[in-house]
Structure 1
Amino acid sequence: MGDPYILMLVALAILAVVDLVVGVSNDAVNFLNSAIGSKAIKVRNIMIIASVGVFFGAITSSGMMEVARKGIFNPNMFMFQDIMFIFMAVMITDILLLDIFNSLGMPTSTTVSIVFELLGAAVCISLIKISSSDTQSISDIWNYINHKKAIEIINGILLSVVVAFSVGAIVQFISRLIYSFNFEKRATYINALFGGFAITAITYFIIIKGMKGTPFYKDIKHLIEGNTLLIIAGSFVVWSLISQALISFFKVNVLKLIIGVGTFSLAMAFSGNDLVNFVGVPIAAWNSYEAWSVSGVSADAFSMGILAKKVPSNVYLLLLAGAIMVITLWTSSKAQNVIKTGIDLSRQGEGHEKFQPNPLSRIVVRAAMAVNIGIRKVFPAKTLAFVDSKFQKPVIELPKDKTYEMPAFDLVRAAVNLIVAGILISIATSMKLPLSTTYVTFMVAMGTSLADRAWGRESAVYRVAGVINVIGGWFLTALTAFLAAAIVAYLISFSTVMIPVLLLVVALLIGRNTLIHRKKSKEVKKQMHFERAELITINGVIEESADHIAEVATRVNKLYTSVVNDLANHDLNKLRKTDKHVGKLNDEIDGLKDGVFYFIKSLDDTSVQASRFYILVLGYLQDVAQSISYISRASFKHVNNNHKNLKKGQLKDLKHIDNTLSKLLDDISVTFENRSFNNLTHIINEKKELLKDVSDSIEKQVARIRTDETSPKNTTLYFSVLLETQDLVSALMSLLETYEEFHISSKNV
């Protein structure tokens, strides 16, 4: 009788390992962003510090395990069989949700996932039990669900978003007024006092508060309780003196020390708070099985009131989970993708923006600008001038032959991010509230970046759009987690045969998402982003622009041929895919044009003439991309609207033009890949034949209209394709002529 449940436990154990891997990939963003974004410490050292923090945090997480056992539902209302169905549904749903978000590079909350999955699965099983009972009604659902605790948890999670953002912004604003951006020039005692305050806060809230709920707390309880003020005051004095000594005698940058200690403590707080999200359910399932297996009662008759009691966690299991988390931290490419999103949205400077503006982000930015105007009318000019002086960023002069990648934000902001997030998470952990570490760390980072004036007029609308997208994803997580877990729980309760089927679906979807993620990673590497260090000389401009031209020619060749073939076959799906690829090409060229400002600034004094050439090259590439985009969209629209196929004569002419254009684009690709620029004159001469073919096709269509053409829609599409092809060829020729002229002039120089 126990065999199927042993198999379910094995499945839960495997799912726990997978969930740890998937979950850490998502949550690594929480404690690595600040240290990596500030470049205060080498990445390898950051990873070592975080790994040690994760291990220590795993030991302190035992107090949080009660959430999975009794935080969301009343276990005494469920039988052993019900509990196992709930736990299986939760783990299956959790893995799928987190893996999807990781693949998209979007940070989401493992805490929100687990809470709403437990709620969804428990509600589903409760409704099934109520429906099969003659004495119960829908109102009895509250006997099954621990709604008071559930509401407390949900309110805490939502409140944490507002509190984290507000506190992060206030603390960062005050810290910047104290430090300004020239923090290296501050008096040493300011650094020492800041170090004393920061490390005291970290050590008290995270280490001492974090010890609550662990088996070791009872040994030191008498030393801590009742002595809070003494411990805080003593720690502040001791850490301030230690900080002053380190600054004065060892020339240690105390901000780097804070970031190191903060990374350790935040990793520890994350592990202590979030480990329950990954292994709490399987451990609760094991506790349930142990109680049921010795009872001698059938699985559908054994009440799980045992879960309401406090059960000590196995320290070795927690350490094993910590080890898996550390290994994932070092090896997961998806974790790096999620980290990039958090850093991009909070970085101090401008750069490539991942998110596009939306109407809501524009409204928020306009409202903020209006508030700013109001503030400037209320406060005296001298006060505003003093505040502005503290936010003046130093200008770093670098030789033109040197390259230096600026950090996303400075040491002061990184330290504040870590201090505020660590304290808030530790307070929640000590209260046994499963706070969302993702929500807290992300919103603290957003609050500090806003207060630090990192969101300027050039970037605010993109950053706000990114924050809205991420927060929207969080709410979507909650709704999706609830519904998906409820559906999975229903399927499992309907038939246990669904368990292996669902596990197979999990394996297939994770495999598919992994393959898609790898494919996207390869595509990102191929995207046309230039490095400033490589574009400071004329030769660098020639090399880089030659690569762009060869790439565009190759891709336009494939896209044009695809459009002609798919239009001939009236294949709507292929035309839709081609249009997506055309959109990617346009986005990449737009990205290059957005970087022209930085390109011109990076040129050395002898290469300024290259700026005009590079701008012209990008302009012509954009014209080419826009032409193929118009051709693709017009063809897709024609087929999507179910208009008539083009006639054989029209398709024959288009195929002939495609063959001629394909040869021209092949020649351009080979010429620029091999840097054989002496062939440009020959290629330019080839355009006459192609333009003549286009002109002849237009004349043929005019003749058709006069005789046998009966479809105005076909005529509109056909003329559109021909005229845009003409524009495409003209843009290519202008590009080649400009390139030939610049190549000859640069050789003479």
Structure 2
Amino acid sequence: MGDPYILMLIALAVLAIVDLVVGVSNDAVNFLNSAIGSKAISVKNIMIIASVGVFFGAVTSSGMMEVARKGIFNPSMFVFQDVMFIFMAVMITDILLLDIFNSLGMPTSTTVSIVFELLGSAVVIALIKIANNDAESLSAIWNYINYETATDIILGILLSVVVAFTVGAIVQYFSRLIYSFNFENRATYINALFGGFAITSITYFIIIKGLKGTDFYGNIASLLEGNTAQIIGISFLIWTALCYFIIRFLKVNILVLIIGVGTFSLAMAFAGNDLVNFIGVPIAALNSYEAWSISGVEPVLFSMGSLAKKVPSNIWLLLLAGAIMVVTLWTSSKAKSVIETGINLSRQGEGHEKFQPNNISRVVVRVSMFLNKGITFLIPKKTQNYINTKFEKPVLKLPKDKTYEMPAFDLVRASVNLIMASVLISIATSMKLPLSTTYVTFMVAMGTSLADRAWGRESAVYRVAGVLNVIGGWFLTAIIAFTAAGIIAYLISLHMAAIPALLILVAVLIGRNTLKHRKKSKEVKKKTYLERAELITINGVIEESADHISQVIYRVSKLYTHVVNDLANHDLNKLRKTEKHVKKLNDEIDDLKDGVFYFIKSLDETSVQASRFYIMVLGYLQDAAQSISYISRASYKHVNNNHKNLKKGQIKDLKTIDEELTELLEKESKIFENRQLDDLNALIIEKNTLLINVSTSIEKQVSRIRTDETSPKNTTLYFSILLETKDLISALMNLLKTYEEFHLTTKQ
């Protein structure tokens, strides 16, 4: 009987490693955002500091492992087989859930996911036990579940979201009034006081959050407990004096030091607090197996009351987990996506917005603007002017080819992010309140960015939509985690054969998500955002636009061929897929047009001609994309409405046009790809010939209508395709003429 459970332990060990990887990818956002966004320290040094913090936190995390064993359910009410089913369901669900969020680039809470997975799977197994026991009613569920813990977690979510956002906004507002954006010019004593407060908060956070529950903390607990105020007061005086010395005599920027120490502390807290979310369940399963294997009792009869006892964690397992977390931190591309989401939503300047606005975000922004007008009316004009001077951003005169080095926000905001996250988590931990490090760090960052006037009229609606999406994802995490873990636990309880099937499903889905993420990352690398340093000369404009034209023409050619072939075969599914690709092309060209402002600003000379040329190129590309979009949409609608197939003569004409167009567009794409821009004139002549052929096809259809055409719907579709094909060719001809003129002018 032991063999299946040994295999389950092996599976849980593998799942724990995978969970560590996807978990770190998700939670790296908590402690890297502020340092990376401010560019106070080089990325390499940030990663080294964070790695040390993560490794140290992992080693000191043994005190947190009790949650998986007895925090959510009462182990004495379950037998060995029950808890093994619960633990398998939890790990499978957790990996799938976190990997999906990571692939989307959305930060979520590993604490909430693990708690609700334990809760969901334990509830289902408990209901099965109650259903099989005539002596128990449904109300007995409360004997199996520690429902108070789940209630505390939910309240902790709601409280942490509101408190972290509000406190972060208030502290940042007053910090900016004290420092303004010219923090380098502040008096030494102000920097020393700020540094003393910040480092005192962070070191207290390290002691309370990082060490509490470890064996080491037990040695110093008598000194700390009951003396909190005195310890904080003495620490503040010592750190303030030390900061004054460092600033005055060593000429060190204290804000950079705060960011370094803060990054270490949050990395340590993350590992110490959240390691239980990744390996707590497999370790609990190992403890369960050890207790059962020496008992000699059947797995369906052995009570798991032993899990309620405190069991010290294996230090070697913690060291191994820490090493895996550090390696993941350095190598995970998904971690970079999640970090990018947090930085984008809190950055000071404008730029590409990841989230689209929705009705709720629009209403929130309008209400905020209305309230702002009311507050402005109440505050005296002099006070307003004084406050506005503190929020005036200095004009940084960087060379245009260095604008990509601009930080997302400054050192003051990065310091406040780290200080307030540390303080809030410390307070909650000392009060024994459950708290998610993800929720606190993310919402503090959002609060500070709002107070810092980073959400202007140009970006507010996108940023609010992003925050609402992330918060919605958090609550969705709890619901999905509870439901999915419950379903998986039920499937496993039906038969153990479900376990290998579910493990194969996990492997397939994670592999698929990884491949999709890599493909998406490559597309993003190809996709050009117009703040890039290369766009600084006239030649840069030619290079950039030639790349865009080559890519768009190649894709338009493929899409046109797909539409013609799918329409000939009356294939609705393929037409639907083509429609999605067409929409994607249109969205990308819209993004390029949205970036025209940044493109014009990035030119190193005030060339009206270059700007005009680039705008016209994008306009013609958009015309071409809209033509193929109309052709695709009309074809899909025709087939979806079950209208008659096009006639053989019509299909033959379309395929002839498609062959000629494909040959022409391939030549055009290669000319732009290889920069053979002197060959454009010959291509313009060929395009004129193709236009004549399309006009001939229109005349043929007119003749058909007079003789044998009986379907008005076919006629409408056929004319629509031919007319849009003419527009498509015309747009590309105009593009070629514009490009040829500009190329010749540039050469001269």
TM-score band, normalised by the shorter chain? over 0.9
Does 1:214 pair with 2:238? no
AA in 1 matched with 2:366: R
| TM alignment of 1:30-45, pairs within 5 A | 30-45=30-45
Alpha carbons 1:64, 1:432 under 8 Å: kept: no
Cα deviation per residue 1:101-160 (whole Å; 9 max; x = unaligned)?
A: 111211111111101100110010010000001111111111111111221122112211
- Which residue of 2 is the match for residue 492 of structure 1? 492
Kindly report the root-mean-square deviation, in angstroms, between the aligned alpha carbons of the 2 structures.
1.5
* Aligned-pair CA distance for 1:222: 2.0
Does 1:394 pair with 2:359? no
- Which residue of 1 is the match for residue 203 of structure 2? 203
Q: Against the structure 1 CA distance between its residues 202 and 402, is the aligned structure 2 distance closer, same or farther, given a 3 Å change threshold?
A: closer
Cα deviation per residue 1:580-599 (whole Å; 9 max; x = unaligned)?
A: 22122112211111111111
AA in 2 matched with 1:83: V
Does 1:140 pair with 2:129? no
Alpha carbons 1:111, 1:434 under 8 Å: kept: no
Alpha carbons 1:687, 1:733 under 8 Å: kept: yes
Alpha carbons 1:38, 1:409 under 8 Å: kept: yes
Does 1:111 pair with 2:111? yes
AA in 2 matched with 1:423: V
Cα deviation per residue 1:595-627 (whole Å; 9 max; x = unaligned)?
A: 111111122336342111111111111111111
For residues 86 and 432 of structure 2, what CA distance do their matches in structure 1 show?
22
Q: Secondary structure at the match of 1:301?
A: coil
For residues 70 and 434 of structure 1, what CA distance do their matches in structure 2 show?
15
For residues 404 and 550 of structure 1, what CA distance do their matches in structure 2 show?
26
| TM alignment of 1:559-574, pairs within 5 A | 559-574=559-574
| TM alignment of 1:468-479, pairs within 5 A | 468-479=468-479
- Which residue of 1 is the match for residue 46 of structure 2? 46
Q: Secondary structure at the match of 1:296?
A: coil
Does 1:542 pair with 2:506? no
- Which residue of 1 is the match for residue 410 of structure 2? 410
For residues 195 and 335 of structure 1, what CA distance do their matches in structure 2 show?
30
For residues 422 and 505 of structure 1, what CA distance do their matches in structure 2 show?
39
Deviates more, 1:197-206 or 1:435-444: 435-444
Q: Secondary structure at the match of 2:533?
A: helix
For residues 399 and 160 of structure 1, what CA distance do their matches in structure 2 show?
42
* Aligned-pair CA distance for 1:429: 3.9
Q: Secondary structure at the match of 2:65?
A: helix
AA in 1 matched with 2:360: L
Cα deviation per residue 1:450-470 (whole Å; 9 max; x = unaligned)?
A: 111111111111111111221
- Which residue of 1 is the match for residue 447 of structure 2? 447
For residues 168 and 685 of structure 2, what CA distance do their matches in structure 1 show?
63
Q: Against the structure 1 CA distance between its residues 212 and 533, is the aligned structure 2 distance closer, same or farther, given a 3 Å change threshold?
A: closer
- Which residue of 2 is the match for residue 323 of structure 1? 323
- Which residue of 1 is the match for residue 337 of structure 2? 337
For residues 432 and 494 of structure 1, what CA distance do their matches in structure 2 show?
38
Q: Secondary structure at the match of 1:533?
A: coil
Deviates more, 1:402-411 or 1:334-343: 402-411
* Aligned-pair CA distance for 1:194: 0.5
AA in 2 matched with 1:504: I
Q: Secondary structure at the match of 2:13?
A: helix
Aligned residues: 748
Alpha carbons 1:206, 1:423 under 8 Å: kept: no
AA in 1 matched with 2:92: I
Does 1:127 pair with 2:127? yes
Alpha carbons 1:256, 1:411 under 8 Å: kept: yes
For residues 723 and 588 of structure 1, what CA distance do their matches in structure 2 show?
24
Alpha carbons 2:345, 2:446 under 8 Å: kept: yes
* Aligned-pair CA distance for 1:203: 0.4
* Aligned-pair CA distance for 1:709: 1.9
| TM alignment of 1:90-105, pairs within 5 A | 90-105=90-105
* Aligned-pair CA distance for 1:430: 4.3
AA in 2 matched with 1:300: V
Deviates more, 1:193-202 or 1:673-682: 673-682
Alpha carbons 2:72, 2:119 under 8 Å: kept: yes
| TM alignment of 1:494-509, pairs within 5 A | 494-509=494-509
* Aligned-pair CA distance for 1:720: 1.3
* Aligned-pair CA distance for 1:400: 4.6
Alpha carbons 2:492, 2:498 under 8 Å: kept: yes
- Which residue of 2 is the match for residue 29 of structure 1? 29
For residues 120 and 261 of structure 1, what CA distance do their matches in structure 2 show?
38
Structure 2 residue runs of 5 or longer lacking an equivalent are none
| TM alignment of 1:543-558, pairs within 5 A | 543-558=543-558
Structure 1 residue runs of 5 or longer lacking an equivalent are none
AA in 2 matched with 1:413: R
Alpha carbons 1:269, 1:426 under 8 Å: kept: no
Alpha carbons 1:273, 1:435 under 8 Å: kept: no
For residues 551 and 257 of structure 2, what CA distance do their matches in structure 1 show?
46
Cα deviation per residue 1:369-410 (whole Å; 9 max; x = unaligned)?
A: 111111111222222222211111101123456555211111
Deviates more, 1:123-132 or 1:62-71: 62-71
* Aligned-pair CA distance for 1:231: 1.0
Does 1:745 pair with 2:737? no
For residues 369 and 718 of structure 1, what CA distance do their matches in structure 2 show?
51
For residues 395 and 94 of structure 1, what CA distance do their matches in structure 2 show?
47
| TM alignment of 1:669-688, pairs within 5 A | 669-688=669-688
Alpha carbons 2:346, 2:454 under 8 Å: kept: yes
Deviates more, 1:205-214 or 1:352-361: 205-214
Deviates more, 1:307-316 or 1:438-447: 307-316
Alpha carbons 1:59, 1:214 under 8 Å: kept: no
| TM alignment of 1:88-487, pairs within 5 A | 88-400=88-400, 403-487=403-487
Q: Against the structure 1 CA distance between its residues 136 and 402, is the aligned structure 2 distance closer, same or farther, given a 3 Å change threshold?
A: closer
For residues 542 and 727 of structure 1, what CA distance do their matches in structure 2 show?
24
For residues 437 and 576 of structure 1, what CA distance do their matches in structure 2 show?
42
Cα deviation per residue 1:2-60 (whole Å; 9 max; x = unaligned)?
A: 33222222221111111111111111111111111111101111111011111221233
Alpha carbons 2:671, 2:677 under 8 Å: kept: yes
Q: Secondary structure at the match of 1:467?
A: helix
Identity rate, percent: 78
Q: Against the structure 1 CA distance between its residues 571 and 120, is the aligned structure 2 distance closer, same or farther, given a 3 Å change threshold?
A: same
Q: Against the structure 1 CA distance between its residues 537 and 607, is the aligned structure 2 distance closer, same or farther, given a 3 Å change threshold?
A: farther
Cα deviation per residue 1:437-456 (whole Å; 9 max; x = unaligned)?
A: 22111111111111111111
For residues 402 and 501 of structure 1, what CA distance do their matches in structure 2 show?
52
Alpha carbons 1:78, 1:304 under 8 Å: kept: yes
Alpha carbons 1:273, 1:434 under 8 Å: kept: no
For residues 593 and 628 of structure 2, what CA distance do their matches in structure 1 show?
18
* Aligned-pair CA distance for 1:230: 1.5
Alpha carbons 1:123, 1:486 under 8 Å: kept: yes
For residues 720 and 78 of structure 2, what CA distance do their matches in structure 1 show?
68
Alpha carbons 2:582, 2:628 under 8 Å: kept: yes
Q: Which TM-score applies when normalising by structure 1? A: 0.97
AA in 2 matched with 1:59: V
Deviates more, 1:702-711 or 1:555-564: 702-711
Q: Secondary structure at the match of 1:397?
A: coil
AA in 1 matched with 2:3: D
AA in 1 matched with 2:674: N
Q: Which TM-score applies when normalising by structure 2? A: 0.98
Cα deviation per residue 1:460-484 (whole Å; 9 max; x = unaligned)?
A: 1111111122122222211111111
For residues 121 and 684 of structure 1, what CA distance do their matches in structure 2 show?
67
Q: Secondary structure at the match of 1:216?
A: helix
Deviates more, 1:64-73 or 1:529-538: 529-538
